[in-house]
Chain A
Amino acid sequence: MPALLELDEVRAGYGQTSVLHGVSMSVEEGQIVSLLGANGAGKTTTLRSITGGVRWTGDIRFAGRSLKRLSTEDVVRCGIAHVPEGRGILTELTVDENLRLGSHLRTDGADVRKDYDRVFEYFPLLRERRRLSASTLSGGEQQMLAVARALLMRPRLMLLDEPSLGLAPMVVRAIFEIIRTINQADGVSVFVVEQNARLALEVSSHAYVLEVGRVAVSGASSELIGKESVRRSYLGY
C-alpha cells in the first residue's frame, strides 16, 4: 500500500535559482504531517511543486498516480486542496462566492449542502458574513474562510501553507483545533507548512524539517519534540 502522497527526489526552483535539491517525503492516508524549517528552506516551494505552481523534476505521486505533466487545475481535481501562502482569498468576491468556488466542481448536491452546514458549524462567523465582501474580513477570518473553502472541495489531502501567519495566538489555536477535527472527523489527510514548530508538532504525527532545500531531519513528531538538539538547531525554541 503506497502512501497517499509521495515525493521522490524532487528538485525545483525559479529560473536559474534552484530551491529544492532532491527532497523525498510521504504523507500516509489519514495523517497530519508537518513541514518545518527556516525562511527560505523551501517549504512553500515544496507545496507549490505538488500543485504544479513551480517546475520540478523527480517524481510526485498522489494515490499512486504521478502528477508529472498535470496542470494545477488537474492536480486539484485529483483531490488536493491547497491553501496557499497569503491564503488565496478572492477579495473582489463575497464570502459566499469564495465558498462556492470551493464546491463549484462537485456534483453531489445533497452532500454539498451538508458540508456547508458543517463548515458553518466550524466557523459560525462565516455564516453571518456570507453576503459581505471577503475584503472586509480580518486576517484570522480570511484564514478561516480559506480553510472552509478548502474543506468544501472535499479533498483527500489538504495542503496548508503557514495557517498561523500574522494571526493572534488565540486564533491560531482555534484554527489548529479545527485542522485536527477536519483530520479526525472528515478523514482528510493534512500536510501543513508552519513556522510555529511547537504547535505544528503537537497536532502532527510526522514531521519533516527542511534546511536549504534538503530534508535535514524527519520522524515522528513526538520524538522530534523531545530531541533537544533538533529543537535548538532547527526549530528555534
Chain B
Amino acid sequence: MQSLIQQIISGIASGGVFASLALALVLIYNAMGLVNFAQGEMAMFATFIAFTLIDRGLSYWIALPVTLMIAFAGGVLIQRVVIRPVERAPVLTLVIITLGMATLVNGLAGFIWGYVPRSFPSPFSARTVNILGAVVSYQDMGVIAISAVVLLLIYLLLQRTTIGLTMRAAAHHPEASRLLGVRVSWMLALGWGLAAAVGAVSGIMVAPVLFLEPNMMQAIIIYAFAAAVLGGIESPLGAVVGGLIVGLTVNLAGAYLPFVGGDLELAVALAIIIGVLLVRPNGLFGRPTVRRV
C-alpha cells in the first residue's frame, strides 16, 4: 500500500513534467496546425541556459524566471525568423524544418556544453517525508507544485485575459481574427514564446533526475507526444490530463508489471499513442473533425 502511494506520487510528478511539455506541443499545434518536433530540444537548450546561470552563481529561484524569459524571447524569435517566412508552406516542409531545428539545437548544445552528463541542482532537499506511511521525496512534491503553478498561470492567461482570448482566436481562425483587428502573426509568435517557456519548465524539472546532456529530452518528448495525443492534441486541458495519465501509467506499469520494468517504460508511452489513435483518434478532449460536403 505504501509503495503504491509512493508510485502514484512520483507518477504525478513525472506527469507534471510530461504535461508541461505536452502543453507546449499543444500551444504550437494550435498556432500552426503542426507539432513542433524541436520542442524537446528547445527545452533542453533552455535547461542548459539555467545551468549556466546557476553555475555562474545565480540562485536557483532567480535563474528559473530569467531562463523562462530567455526561453520566451527565444520562442518568439524562432517564430519570427524561422517559421514566419514559411507560414504558408506545405505541412511536409514545416515538419522538415522543425525536425531540422531539433537536430540543429541538439548539435549546438553539444558544441557549447559538450556531451558529458552534468548533475543539475535541485532546489528541493533530497530528504523524504512520511505521508500516510509512504515515503515521499521533497523533490517529487516540489516538481508537482511548480508544474501545477505554471499550468495554472497558463490557464489563467489563456482563459481569463484579453491577450489570451486573442491568442486563442488567432490560433483557431486567423482570417476571422484579422477582421476583428487581432494582430494574428504576433499572437502566433506569443504562442511560440509561451510554448518555449512552458517547455523549459519541463526540462528544468526533469534535469535533476535525469542528468543534463543534449539528448536528455529525447525520451521525455515521446511521453509528451503520448500525453498530447491522449488529450486530443488541440486541447490544453487535455494535454495536462494526458500528461498525468501517462505519468501514472508509466510509473505504475514500471513498478508492477514485471515484464515492463525500467526498460519498457517508453514502449508503454508508444502503446498509449497507438492505442489512442486506433480507438479514439480525437483523444479525450478533442472534438471530432466534421467535414461538410
Contact surface of A with B, Cβ cutoff 8 Å: 51, 53, 71-73, 76-77, 81-82, 84, 88-90, 92-93, 97, 100-102, 104-105, 149, 153
- Please classify how large the interface on chain B is, using the bins under 10, 10 to 19, 20 to 34, 35 or more: 10 to 19
B173 at the interface (CB under 8 A from A): yes
B177/A90 in contact, CB under 8 A: yes
Task: Evaluate whether A105 and B176 lie within 8 angstroms (CB atoms) in the complex, with A90-B169, A92-B168 already known.
Answer: no
Closest chain-A Cβ to B287's Cβ sits at a distance in Å of 8
* Residue in contact with A88 in the complex, picked from B162, B165, B176, B184, CB distance below 8 Å: B176
Closest chain-B Cβ to A99's Cβ sits at a distance in Å of 11
Contact surface of B with A, Cβ cutoff 8 Å: 162, 165-166, 168-169, 172-173, 175-184
**B residues in contact with A93, CB < 8 Å:** 165, 168-169, 172
B166/A104 in contact, CB under 8 A: yes
* Residue in contact with B172 in the complex, picked from A90, A105, A153, CB distance below 8 Å: A90
A101/B175 in contact, CB under 8 A: no
**A residues in contact with B175, CB < 8 Å:** 53, 84, 88
Closest chain-B Cβ to A82's Cβ sits at a distance in Å of 5
How far is B182's CA from A3's CA once the two chains are assembled, in angstroms? Answer: 27
**A residues in contact with B181, CB < 8 Å:** 73, 76-77, 104-105, 153
How far is B176's CA from A102's CA once the two chains are assembled, in angstroms? Answer: 11
**Other 15 A-B pairs with CB < 8 A, given A88-B173, A104-B162:** A73-B183, A73-B184, A76-B178, A77-B181, A84-B176, A84-B179, A88-B176, A88-B179, A90-B177, A92-B172, A93-B168, A93-B172, A101-B165, A101-B177, A104-B181
**B residues in contact with A92, CB < 8 Å:** 168, 172-173
Task: Evaluate whether A104 and B179 lie within 8 angstroms (CB atoms) in the complex, with A90-B172, A90-B173 already known.
Answer: no
Task: Evaluate whether A89 and B180 lie within 8 angstroms (CB atoms) in the complex, with A100-B165, A104-B165 already known.
Answer: no
> SS class of chain B's interface: helix, strand, loop or mixed?
helix
**B residues in contact with A102, CB < 8 Å:** 180
How far is B164's CA from A93's CA once the two chains are assembled, in angstroms? Answer: 12
**A residues in contact with B184, CB < 8 Å:** 73
Closest 10 CB pairs of A and B: A88-B176, A72-B178, A76-B181, A92-B172, A101-B180, A82-B179, A105-B181, A90-B173, A77-B181, A104-B162
B176/A97 in contact, CB under 8 A: no
B182/A73 in contact, CB under 8 A: yes
Task: Evaluate whether A73 and B165 lie within 8 angstroms (CB atoms) in the complex, with A88-B173, A90-B172 already known.
Answer: no
A106 to B, closest residue via Cβ: B181
Task: Evaluate whether A73 and B178 lie within 8 angstroms (CB atoms) in the complex, with A101-B169, A104-B162, A104-B166 already known.
Answer: yes
Closest chain-B Cβ to A94's Cβ sits at a distance in Å of 10
A97/B165 in contact, CB under 8 A: yes
**B residues in contact with A76, CB < 8 Å:** 178-181
Closest chain-A Cβ to B163's Cβ sits at a distance in Å of 9
How far is B179's CA from A73's CA once the two chains are assembled, in angstroms? Answer: 6
Among B166, B178, B180, B184, chain A packs the most CB atoms within 10 A around the CB of B180
Ordered by A's residue number, 13 sampled pairs between the chains whose C-beta atoms are within 8 Å are: A53-B175, A53-B178, A72-B178, A72-B179, A76-B181, A77-B181, A81-B179, A84-B179, A90-B169, A90-B177, A101-B177, A104-B165, A105-B181
Closest chain-B Cβ to A110's Cβ sits at a distance in Å of 17
**B residues in contact with A101, CB < 8 Å:** 165-166, 169, 177, 180, 182
Closest chain-B Cβ to A137's Cβ sits at a distance in Å of 15
Closest chain-B Cβ to A152's Cβ sits at a distance in Å of 10
How far is B165's CA from A89's CA once the two chains are assembled, in angstroms? Answer: 14
How far is B169's CA from A93's CA once the two chains are assembled, in angstroms? Answer: 8
Closest chain-A Cβ to B157's Cβ sits at a distance in Å of 15
**A residues in contact with B183, CB < 8 Å:** 73
**B residues in contact with A88, CB < 8 Å:** 173, 175-176, 179-180
Task: Evaluate whether A149 and B180 lie within 8 angstroms (CB atoms) in the complex, with A53-B175, A88-B173 already known.
Answer: yes
How far is B180's CA from A105's CA once the two chains are assembled, in angstroms? Answer: 9
**A residues in contact with B169, CB < 8 Å:** 90, 93, 97, 101
